[in-house]
Structure 1
Amino acid sequence: MDSATQLETIATRWQGSFHNRRQVAAHVARGGPAAPELTREVRTMVVERLQAPQLGAVVLYFQEFRASAPQLAQRQRVVVLRQDPDRGAVRAEQLFFRGGPTYDRPPLAAGLVADLGPEAFDRHPGCDLFFEAEPALDRFRARMDPGACRYRHPQDGEVCAEFEMLLHPDQLWYRDRSLRLADGSVRGEVDGFSWLLFDRAEGAAGLAEATLPALVRQRGIWRGTFRRYDAEGVLRETFPSTITIRVSQDAGRWLYHQSNLHGTEDAPLRRIEAHGEIHSGRVWFASERYQGWAMDLPGEEPAAGSLLVMHPRDPADPDIHETIRCSPDGRRRWRVSQLLKDGQLVGRTLIDEERLTEEESLTGD
């Protein structure tokens, strides 16, 4: 393709919402120590095209978030794409926001960024990216010139950054690190300079669905039956249940709320309210009697179920370990809880449920 077509193809492929959930699931299933080489944290990236002629003809703006700090944009950049006739390549000029930190910045709406002038940014030409086409693999490779992206760090002296990216129609890969030039030691790197793999997730709702734990996608109202057994497998109790799962967003935080109604609605045996927050790839929650967390069952993509671990506030109560498995259509789920006290099994609970209603989208402010 000619250079103008290449530029527009790069701009189109780079835009959108991305997540590395599939890579995280694979590394969690792989096991091993929590070393930098094992990518275990969910990251999301949103890349938008700006109408900002004061900056350039083709302007992109991206923010990247980590699950451990969803209230901050770990990376936040403006990129201007243009043809570089001297290099015979598409050049991506990186614009760095002036004022405040370089990383972990407060999120900034694209509409506000589009109104900023050139004076709002610092330019470091050595840190620009140059794209070359690799048609046999249907991708573009972008990288900085070796040793060109240099800057002075207040503590580490002169530093050199290295960055490389692969751009596919439905995937974005990158790796990033910086070196101290005084001795060649690593100042900072993303996961041991390994490649981060981001898959495309179209739209904000699709991004939220893809990057939040599977338990979030079970939001709605579930009606079912609890069957409780003792350690020897003797059925001790049976009763109906209604479970309501809600998810909302407030000031950049994902909040979780679950209501359990055990028994009939007109004569409930008990009502349990659990509240929590979603971060670091897990749902963290607490009720009057228990506190715990939920994560996806590893090794599957998309996740088909969840693992829950609950610890009692009263040491006299048992720990609860529960697995949840959903049907492919999302309308049924099956739960198995094991109650453990001092390392010994004291009971099991089986729950079969059917989804009555489903929230169509996550609520936000």
Structure 2
Amino acid sequence: MDSAAQLETIAARWQGSFHNRRQVAATLARGGPVAPELTRELRTMEVERLQAPHLGEVVLYFQEFRASAPQLAHRQRVVVLGVDPLRGAVRAEQLFFRGGPTYDRPALDAAWVQTLGPEAFDRHPGCDLFFVAEPALDRFRARMDPGACRYRHPQDGEVCADFEMLLHPDQLWYRDRSLRLADGSVRGEVDGFSWLLFDRADRSDGIGPDGALDADLPALVRQQGVWRGRFRRYDAEGGLLETFPSTITIRVFQEGGRWRYHQSSLHGPEDAPLRRLEAQGEIHSGRVWFTSERYQGWAMDLPGEDPAAGSLLVMRARDPADPDVHEIISCSADGRRRWRVSQLLKDGQLVGRTTIDEEKLSGG
């Protein structure tokens, strides 16, 4: 493949919506203490091709968002692709938005960005990327020239950036860090300078063409709506203790730039007043984190399923006299039915089980 063909292939592969949900799920499923080399935060990336001949023939624009600050573009760049005649390689010239912070910038619409002239950007040629084809692995590797991307930081003095990217047909990997040249110490790095893995999103992920974050939230969020079901409680030996109807309402909404979760449960024996339980929570880093009067816990997607076919919940009792709860939720392919199995544990012993069969009445 000649350089011109490589350029178009790179441009095509680089465009689209991407997310690191699979990598986050694998990290969370691994368990153990938090490690700086293992990403636990959901990120999404949107890359669009601009019609901006005043900037270059092939111009891309990307924004990357973190779940902890979905209203801000953590990384935001315009990239001009071209063939470097001296190297015979594809060069990606990075254009940095002039004015304001380098990271965590307000999101900008691509239609407006493509109207900006060259005066709206700063250029740092040493920070450009050069692509090398690795045909045996069906990918391109891009990186800056070693030690070339230098700039002066107001607090840390002379700094050198180190960035590398791998571009597959359906994946985008990158790692990023900066070093203080005075002593070689790390000024900043993304997840311990390990690789971030972004998968290309498609309609099965639920991610829209604008890369909106609400489309790539945990499976429990996609179960929002009103569910009617029946609880069956069993003792530790499997004997049926009681059965009763339930109505559960799940609601997801944005507030203060964050995603919030609310669940209201109505249930109880048919010959007794209904009991109402309320749970409030927040959604970030690939999980739903929630609290109620009796429990606090989290929910995550069942690992190894893409798209997720259900959820895993862990609930810790606030009162030591109450049992902890481990629950698995499985959903039908059409999202209209779900089946829940809970195990109640106290002092390391099984004390009971609950099964719930539910049908969605509305919402979602």
Q: TM-score, normalised by structure 2?
A: 0.86
Residue in 2 that maps onto 1:305: 310
Give how far 1:283 is off: 1.4
Q: Provide the rounded CA distance (Å) in 1 between the counterparts of 2:309 and 2:290.
A: 21
Aligned AA (1:213): P
Q: Provide the rounded CA distance (Å) in 2 between the counterparts of 1:35 and 1:202.
A: 30
Secondary structure of 2:55's counterpart equals: coil
- Does residue 216 of structure 2 align to residue 211 of structure 1? yes
Is the Cα–Cα contact under 8 Å of residues 75 and 104 in structure 2 kept in the other structure? Answer: yes
Is the Cα–Cα contact under 8 Å of residues 222 and 353 in structure 1 kept in the other structure? Answer: yes
> What is the CA RMSD across the aligned residues, in angstroms?
3.0
Query: Structure 1: any 5+ residue segments left out of the alignment?
Result: 360-365
214-223 vs 202-211, greater mean Cα deviation = 202-211
Is the Cα–Cα contact under 8 Å of residues 78 and 95 in structure 1 kept in the other structure? Answer: yes
Q: Provide the rounded CA distance (Å) in 2 between the counterparts of 1:254 and 1:313.
A: 24
Q: Any residues of structure 2 matched to 1:66-77 within 5 Å, and which?
A: 66-77=66-77
Aligned AA (1:258): Q
The 3 A distance-change label for structure 1 pair 32 and 287 is closer
Is the Cα–Cα contact under 8 Å of residues 308 and 321 in structure 1 kept in the other structure? Answer: yes
- Does residue 289 of structure 2 align to residue 284 of structure 1? yes
Secondary structure of 1:205's counterpart equals: coil
Q: Provide the rounded CA distance (Å) in 2 between the counterparts of 1:347 and 1:286.
A: 22
Give how far 1:124 is off: 0.3
Residue in 2 that maps onto 1:224: 229
Residue in 2 that maps onto 1:334: 339
Secondary structure of 2:155's counterpart equals: coil
Q: Any residues of structure 2 matched to 1:19-98 within 5 Å, and which?
A: 19-98=19-98
Q: Provide the rounded CA distance (Å) in 2 between the counterparts of 1:328 and 1:298.
A: 17
Secondary structure of 2:13's counterpart equals: helix
Give how far 1:241 is off: 2.1
Q: Provide the rounded CA distance (Å) in 2 between the counterparts of 1:354 and 1:75.
A: 42
Give how far 1:123 is off: 0.7
Q: Provide the rounded CA distance (Å) in 2 between the counterparts of 1:177 and 1:205.
A: 30
Q: Deviations over 1:45-93 (max 9, x none)?
A: 1111122233222211111122233232221111111222122111111
Is the Cα–Cα contact under 8 Å of residues 209 and 217 in structure 1 kept in the other structure? Answer: no
Secondary structure of 1:141's counterpart equals: strand
- Report sequence identity in percent: 84
Q: Deviations over 1:266-317 (max 9, x none)?
A: x972344444331122213345665543223345544333233445677776
Aligned AA (1:157): G
Is the Cα–Cα contact under 8 Å of residues 231 and 345 in structure 1 kept in the other structure? Answer: yes
Q: Provide the rounded CA distance (Å) in 1 between the counterparts of 2:230 and 2:157.
A: 64
168-177 vs 245-254, greater mean Cα deviation = 245-254
The 3 A distance-change label for structure 1 pair 288 and 52 is farther
Secondary structure of 1:24's counterpart equals: helix
Q: Provide the rounded CA distance (Å) in 2 between the counterparts of 1:12 and 1:325.
A: 37
Residue in 2 that maps onto 1:362: none
Residue in 2 that maps onto 1:168: 168
Q: 1:236 pairs with 232, 237, 241, which one?
A: 241
Q: TM-score, normalised by structure 1?
A: 0.85
Aligned length: 358
Give how far 1:357 is off: 5.0
Q: Provide the rounded CA distance (Å) in 2 between the counterparts of 1:6 and 1:209.
A: 34
Is the Cα–Cα contact under 8 Å of residues 25 and 300 in structure 1 kept in the other structure? Answer: no
Q: Provide the rounded CA distance (Å) in 1 between the counterparts of 2:343 and 2:135.
A: 54
Q: Provide the rounded CA distance (Å) in 2 between the counterparts of 1:301 and 1:27.
A: 15
Q: Provide the rounded CA distance (Å) in 2 between the counterparts of 1:99 and 1:330.
A: 46
Residue in 1 that maps onto 2:152: 152
Give how far 1:150 is off: 0.5
Q: Any residues of structure 2 matched to 1:121-140 within 5 Å, and which?
A: 121-140=121-140
Is the Cα–Cα contact under 8 Å of residues 311 and 329 in structure 2 kept in the other structure? Answer: yes
The 3 A distance-change label for structure 1 pair 343 and 26 is closer
180-189 vs 236-245, greater mean Cα deviation = 236-245
Is the Cα–Cα contact under 8 Å of residues 264 and 279 in structure 2 kept in the other structure? Answer: yes
Is the Cα–Cα contact under 8 Å of residues 245 and 257 in structure 1 kept in the other structure? Answer: yes
